[in-house]
């Protein structure tokens, strides 16, 4: 019997498809000549397309010092949408636990329980934001931050004395509509990142990798969570090139590669090499930073392509193929334990319709799942957490799923 055998079973499996919102779009958005102007009307059109095409929601990506503010964007889109969930990227080191509680509870109440938090502990943009934490320190800080945050979201009054955070008499004025709080999603491939996920996170996110590597990662994080008496879900971030046939999809991948000059590849690879990211190093291993003559040379598994990693940092794997081929790969990843798929294709607006009309009908997708909700405006009786001496002294119980 293994550690995971002792845990209660997970709820019935879901298959959630989410899209991606970022202030950068176009057929070849890495090339200024092809970039589209992205204003609020354009973002509204995106959001409406996500809603009408049956997506579960979308990741609102951001950096600490650039891009759209995800909170303002999400709040602005609440009246435009009916069921779209807002996966808001948050960097704990540029918030306090109490400020994040205020943002999350307010938007969750005002949106009818449609908030998900994507906790980001990577270093990109933090220096410019005045945050100078080393790799291990960032995840230590995130561990303390989430310990306090989760306690506050359960209605506890918190005193906390940690290495990075000193909290006295903190409490939430009111709580989120989702009980006990909006789901916490998180990614990170290093051992310390996996440990933080195992302790605190509801949905562990990974960048796309071939199925074998993905299965190994899931098994490792699942075992770490079991040591904390927890069961967690898994998600994956993938790019897409979908066309009517596999041949047309690979022709589109070739066209994309033909519109990437060597200078773009060199710049992206230089910037990626500076990152303190285990996940980024894993992505590099699939394309080696070298642009081939033929796109299909970077096919690392049937219909799984590493070419996006040449032109962007972060998730560099794409599913390339016909609607049937792409749906088959998604089903394969789902069979490994992936429940949530954050996907995107260029241009972001048009490709929501292509995926929604051609791929979504081939999948047993979950369109809406509100989870447990409190009555609107619910404020529970206060409880006081014991005064801790460090991060390990206040352990948030959270979801034990």
The model's pLDDT over 284-305, given as tens digits with 9 standing for 90+, comes to: 665 566 788 898 999 999 999 9
Query: Tens of pLDDT along the chain (401 residues)?
Result: 454 454 545 546 789 999 999 878 889 888 888 889 889 999 999 999 999 999 999 999 876 556 789 999 999 999 999 999 999 999 998 899 999 999 999 999 999 999 999 999 865 545 544 555 677 888 999 999 999 999 999 999 999 999 999 999 999 999 999 999 999 999 998 999 999 999 999 999 999 999 999 999 999 999 999 999 999 999 999 999 999 999 999 999 999 999 988 777 667 666 766 666 666 667 666 556 678 889 899 999 999 999 887 877 677 899 999 999 999 999 999 999 999 999 999 999 999 999 999 999 999 998 877 678 888 766 655 555 544 444 444 433 333 33
Residue at token pair 């048009």: 350
Cα 132 from Cα 64, distance rounded (Å): 13
Stated pTM of the model = 0.88
Question: Is the distance from CB of 240 to CB of 345 less than 8 angstroms?
Answer: yes
What is the largest distance, in Å, between two alpha-carbon atoms of the chain?
65
Residue at token pair 């081929």: 325
Cα 84 from Cα 39, distance rounded (Å): 19
Question: Is the distance from CB of 352 to CB of 52 less than 8 angstroms?
Answer: no
Q: How far is CA 196 from CA 135, 148, 155, 223, 266, in A?
A: 13, 13, 22, 13, 33
3-state secondary structure of 27: coil
Strand pairing report for 85-90 and 184-187: unpaired
The model's pLDDT over 201-215, given as tens digits with 9 standing for 90+, comes to: 999 999 999 999 999
Cα 79 from Cα 375, distance rounded (Å): 20
Q: Which residues pair with 318 in a beta bridge?
A: 239, 305
Kindly report the CA angle at 106 between 104 and 108, in degrees rounded to 5?
65
- Lookup: tokens for 397: 């119980």
* Nearest of 234, 218, 207, 219 to residue 304 by alpha carbon: 207
303: left (phi over 0), alpha (psi -120 to 50) or beta: left
Listed as own residue / partner, the contacts of 102-106 with beta carbons closer than 8 Å and 24 or more positions apart are 102/172, 102/173, 103/71, 104/153, 104/176, 104/181, 104/182, 105/153, 105/172, 105/173, 105/174, 105/175, 105/176
* Nearest of 223, 226, 97, 105 to residue 151 by alpha carbon: 97
Residue at token pair 């590669």: 257
- For residue 20, with 0-12 CB atoms within 10 Å meaning exposed, 13-18 middle and 19 or more buried, which class applies? buried
Q: Mind listing the domains of the chain with CATH numbers? A: 3-238+336-392 (3.20.20.30)
Cα 161 from Cα 165, distance rounded (Å): 6
């Amino acid at each position: 019997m293994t550690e995971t055998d002792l845990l209660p079973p997970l709820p019935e499996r879901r298959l959630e498809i989410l899209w991606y919102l970022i202030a950068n779009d176009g057929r070849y958005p890495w090339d200024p000549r092809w970039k589209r102007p992205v204003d609020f009307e354009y973002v509204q059109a995106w959001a409406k397309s996500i809603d009408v095409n049956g997506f579960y929601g979308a990741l609102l990506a951001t950096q600490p010092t650039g891009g759209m503010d995800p909170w303002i964007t999400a709040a602005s889109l609440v009246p435009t949408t009916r069921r779209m969930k807002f996966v808001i990227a948050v960097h704990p080191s540029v918030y306090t636990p109490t400020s994040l509680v205020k943002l999350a509870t307010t938007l969750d109440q005002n949106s009818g329980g449609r908030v998900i938090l994507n906790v980001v502990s990577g270093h990109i943009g933090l220096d410019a934001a005045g945050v100078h934490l080393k790799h291990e320190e960032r995840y230590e800080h995130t561990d303390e931050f989430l310990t306090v945050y989760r306690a506050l979201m359960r209605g506890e009054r918190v005193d906390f004395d940690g290495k990075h955070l000193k909290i006295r008499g903190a409490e939430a004025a009111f709580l989120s509509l989702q009980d006990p709080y909006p789901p916490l999603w998180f990614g990170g491939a290093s051992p310390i990142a996996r440990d933080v996920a195992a302790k605190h996170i509801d949905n562990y996110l990974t960048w796309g990798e071939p199925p074998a590597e993905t299965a190994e990662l899931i098994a490792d994080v699942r075992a770490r969570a079991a040591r904390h008496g927890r069961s967690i879900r898994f998600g994956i971030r993938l790019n897409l090139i979908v066309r009517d046939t596999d041949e047309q999809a690979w022709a589109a991948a070739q066209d994309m590669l033909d519109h990437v000059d060597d200078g773009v590849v060199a710049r992206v690879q230089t910037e990626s090499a500076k990152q303190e990211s285990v996940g980024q190093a894993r992505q590099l291993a699939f394309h080696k930073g070298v642009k081939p003559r033929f796109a299909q040379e970077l096919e690392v598994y049937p219909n799984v392509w590493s070419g996006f990693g040449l032109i962007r940092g972060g998730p560099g794997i794409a599913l390339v193929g016909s609607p049937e081929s792409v749906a088959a790969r998604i089903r394969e990843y789902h069979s490994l334990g992936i429940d949530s798929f954050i996907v995107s294709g260029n241009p972001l607006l048009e490709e929501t319709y292509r995926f929604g009309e051609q791929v979504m009908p081939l999948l047993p997708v979950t369109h809406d799942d509100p989870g447990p909700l409190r009555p609107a405006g619910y404020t529970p009786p206060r409880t006081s957490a014991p005064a801790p001496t460090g991060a390990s002294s206040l352990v948030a119980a959270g979801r034990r799923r």
